[in-house]
Amino acid sequence: MNIVEQVLAGSKRALARAITAVENEYDEAVEIMQQLYPHTGRAHVIGITGPPGAGKSTLTDKLTKEYRRQGKTVGIIAVDPTSPFSGGAILGDRIRMNELTLDEGVFIRSMGTRGSLGGLSRKTAEAVKIMDAAGKDIVFIETVGVGQSEVDVIKAADTTIVVLVPGLGDDIQAIKAGILEIADIFAINKADREGVERLNTEIEMMLELNQTRVDWRPPVKRTVASLGEGITELLVAVEEHISYLQKSDQLSMRRTKRTKNELMALLDEQIGRYILKNITSSGEFTAVVAAVERRERDPYSVVANLLRQVLR
């Protein structure tokens, strides 16, 4: 059996290796994705995002256990930041999910952002597809602890849960602009702490002011993830969102948009690579750089020229 057949047959080793191949852009990666693609599109993808330390991993752990009780299989991709200085990373989300490690119906993979700035890594969406093809019913994506502009998760997830905690004070004002607008569901985690009512009111007020989505008002749920409180209620909200997506055609609309974005991103990547290989590595290009440097030529007409050559 080749690696794709093994993934489809449920081999965890093959699943792990397929993700590595894609993440490291090994030669076989494209072929793996080509062959797995027809088997994707079945999993429901849930994004979990929010500020650092909000309880995203703990919540993912508890939600997964609830899905397991329902007999569903779960894949989890947990993203942590890569150091921009060394390129290394400490991926620590598994610490909160250790009880899931030996569950046959759960597969957890940690990923470093590797230079991506949107809260995911460049290959997270592909890793989701691999888990989807491997037959996971639910795939969670835990983003890095986000501030305000790391909103890539909505490009990959069907349902996005934004996790907030009381006591951030005026921080909610700062993060409002970005991540609050991507929420399909709000979870106020650490609801055992002071300030829950205030945070709840703030979110509701913000939702009042921000009535862009008339047909789905993001519900606000309270959880104490560390104690497993409010998890069933949160899951009910997820299920309601799923049925809303299906009834309203939003699901197919979102997925069409995603497919389009993915195709454009792939094109962008391939065209970029082609250009790098065919133009920028030539000796002629070095000469052009020097000419621009000396102000004999300007970068704009140089680029226009190069592009004309490539597209000929």
Partner 1 sequence: MEKRIRVLVAKPGLDGHDRGAKVVARALRDAGFEVIYTGLRQTPEQIVEAALQEDVAVIALSLLSGAHNHLFPRIVELCRQKDMSDVLIVGGGVIPDTDIPGLKAAGVAEVFTPGTTTSAIIEFIQTNVK
Ligand X SMILES: Nc1nc2c(ncn2[C@@H]2O[C@H](COP(=O)(O)OP(=O)(O)OP(=O)(O)O)[C@@H](O)[C@H]2O)c(=O)[nH]1
**Which window, 55-63, 210-218, 273-281, 298-306, contacts ligand X (CB under 6 A)?**
55-63
Q: For residue 16, state whether it binds partner 1 (rule: CB under 8 A).
A: yes
Choose the one of Mg ion, partner 1, ligand X, none that binds residue 116, judging by a C-beta under 5 to 8 angstroms depending on kind.
none
Closest CA to 190 of 166, 171, 173, 212: 166
**Which window, 30-38, 82-90, 230-238, 271-279, contacts partner 1 (CB under 8 A)?**
82-90
Residues 212-271 that bind ligand X (CB under 6 A): 224-226
Do 161 and 183 form a contact (C-beta atoms < 8 A)? Answer: yes
User: Which is nearer to partner 1, 266 or 307 (by Cβ)?
Assistant: 266
Looking at 122-181, list the stretches that DSSP marks H as alpha helix, in order from N- to C-terminal side. Answer: 124-133, 153-156, 171-176
- At 127, list the tokens: 């890793």
Residues 153-192 that bind ligand X (CB under 6 A): 189-190, 192
**Which window, 102-110, 144-152, 258-266, 284-292, contacts partner 1 (CB under 8 A)?**
102-110
- At 150, list the tokens: 């790391």
- Please identify which residue in 15, 46, 49, 57 interacts with Mg ion, judged by CB under 5 A: 57
Residues 6+ apart with CB under 8 A from 269: none
Q: For residue 91, state whether it binds partner 1 (rule: CB under 8 A).
A: yes
CB of 54 to partner 1, least distance (A): 19
Between CA 153 and CA 151 the distance in angstroms is 5
- Please identify which residue in 20, 40, 148, 250 interacts with partner 1, judged by CB under 8 A: 20
- At 142, list the tokens: 């835990």
Between CA 302 and CA 285 the distance in angstroms is 10
Residues 6+ apart with CB under 8 A from 298: 292
Chain Cα centroid distance, residue 103? 23
- Please identify which residue in 41, 53, 272, 299 interacts with ligand X, judged by CB under 6 A: 53
Q: What phi-psi label fits residue 131: left (phi over 0), alpha (psi between -120 and 50 degrees) or beta? A: alpha
DSSP 8-state code for residue 9: T
Q: For residue 2, state whether it binds partner 1 (rule: CB under 8 A).
A: no
Q: For residue 57, state whether it binds ligand X (rule: CB under 6 A).
A: yes
Q: For residue 20, state whether it binds ligand X (rule: CB under 6 A).
A: no
What residue ranges bind ligand X (CB under 6 A)? 52-58, 93, 96, 145, 189-190, 192, 224-226
Interface contacts to partner 1, rule CB under 8 A: 12-13, 15-17, 19-20, 23-25, 82-83, 85-92, 94-95, 98, 101-102, 107-110, 112, 114, 122-123
